[in-house]
Chains A and B, each alone.
Chain A
Amino acid sequence: MAEMIYQSPKSIEEAVNLLAASSGSVNILAGGTDLIIQMQANIDEPRVIIDVKKIAEMTQAELTEDALLLGPSMCCAALTAREDIKALFPGLVESAYLIGSSQVQGRASVGGNLCNSSPAADTVPALIALNAMCQILGPGGERTVKAEDFVTGVGRNCLAEDEFLRCIEIPRPEPNTADAYLRFIPRTEMDIAVAGAAVSVTVKDGICSSARVVIGAVAPTALLVPEAAACLIGTDLGTADLSAAAAAATAAATPITDRRGTVEFRKHIVGVLTKRAASIAFQRAKEN
């Protein structure tokens, strides 16, 4: 069996130093629900595991005047229990609630979901819809990347080997703004998204003044679909407007056929979800 090393730094600085000093395959243990399964499947691969969950700020969430500063390793169960966050970002919390079971939510984190970079990740479309920014730390210092630019391909992202995600910053929504996330799965729980859609809308006088539409599990990465948003902006989200947005989402999707769904099914479903998520977000925004 290959040598494995487990490290559990207590501070961000310690984590940065460990990451810089480690060579070979280094993995950040941000949640565990993906990494530990990958480890069991490849026991012969030597690696260094850096468990960042013992760094307090990595697992906490702070709501400032401007933004939510989300510790990337805060487990989904802790996040979904935060009523203050849910009130501001219902779509994000919905997406965290949809990841796996209660047990999985006790481990999985938004940061882990982002860094695992699966096309079907539930929280990624929600983060993009909310204009989230990813604060990345490495030996060269800190840099900030938009959520939509973080994931670069299936299982790939913009992190360099010696960098890690230290915080996800989500700006407080404008007045009369709300988000929603929906995904499609064959059962009611547990499955991986066949398709997903996150929508954030701002409503002024009953009319949508701005919108972001993001679709998931229908392309190598979650996709921001401005064409779909454009169908919503300036409308009251009538049936025709929603259908147009759905068609735009379907057109933007470039899914694959696999055991979870065919190209045709996914393209259709992502349209349905876009329509439904937009309606929910619109309703919420009107009530805000």
Chain B
Amino acid sequence: MKTHVTTRINDETVEFLCEPQQTLLHVLRNELGLTGTKEGCGSGDCGACSVTVNDRLVCSCLVLAVEADGAKIGTIEGVASSDKLHVIQEKYLEHAALQCGICTPGLIVSTKALLEENPNPTEAEARYFLAGNLCRCTGYDKIIKAVMDSAKSLNQGA
């Protein structure tokens, strides 16, 4: 039996029907067309599906879609405002911090969560916070540089 869910995704009210066992990831991608959130493993081990639920960073493959009822969801599609990139997105591009780009949406969502929680992370803190976002292309160096530069830029802007 399908359940009716009312939720807010990227500040817009969204309603959907889902089976109780469907994950939030599945519904975002296959029912709502929000394919910016990627599936790399389906078991919480790669971070490609990172989203925020009530401002808390989670893997959307480890959240049931029914849990979204009444909650506030943030996905990669909500990071930029209209055509203006978020500073973090700009820094990823400036630092060539992506190659294939499949891990990038998850990393950007996670970086945003990191910097909201800890606006001045050390490099080690950034590396540990982002340890759950696997990237196979970059060796992480440029990602970490983009994160540190984003922090600097956001702090200067504030």
Contact = CB atoms under 8 A, between A and B. Distances in A.
A107 B131 contact: no
Interface string B104-126: 00000010011001000000000
Given A51-B67, A100-B132, A102-B130, A33 B62 contact: yes
A40 B63 contact: no
B132 A36 contact: no
A40 B65 CA distance: 13
B59 interface: yes
A160 interface: no
B56 interface: yes
B56 A75 contact: yes
The DSSP consensus for interface residues of chain A is mixed
Contacts of B132: 100-104, 189-190
A5 B133 CA distance: 32
A4 B20 contact: yes
Interface string A75-94: 10110010000000000000
A21 interface: no
Classify the secondary structure of B's interface with A. Answer: mixed
A102 to B, nearest CB: 5
Q: Which residue of A4, A39, A103 has the most chain B CB atoms within 10 A of its CB atom?
A: A103
Contacts of B56: 75, 77-78, 106
Interface string A171-207: 0000000000000000011100000000000000000
A3 interface: yes
A6 interface: yes
Interface of A: 1, 3-6, 8, 29, 32-33, 36-37, 39-40, 43, 49, 51, 53, 75, 77-78, 81, 100-104, 106-107, 188-190
Given A43-B21, A103-B50, A103-B57, 17 more contacts: A4-B20, A5-B1, A8-B67, A40-B21, A49-B20, A75-B56, A77-B57, A100-B44, A101-B47, A101-B131, A103-B62, A104-B59, A104-B62, A106-B58, A188-B131, A190-B45, A190-B132
Interface of B: 1, 3, 19-21, 23, 42-45, 47, 50, 53, 56-59, 61-64, 66-67, 69, 110, 113-114, 117, 128-133
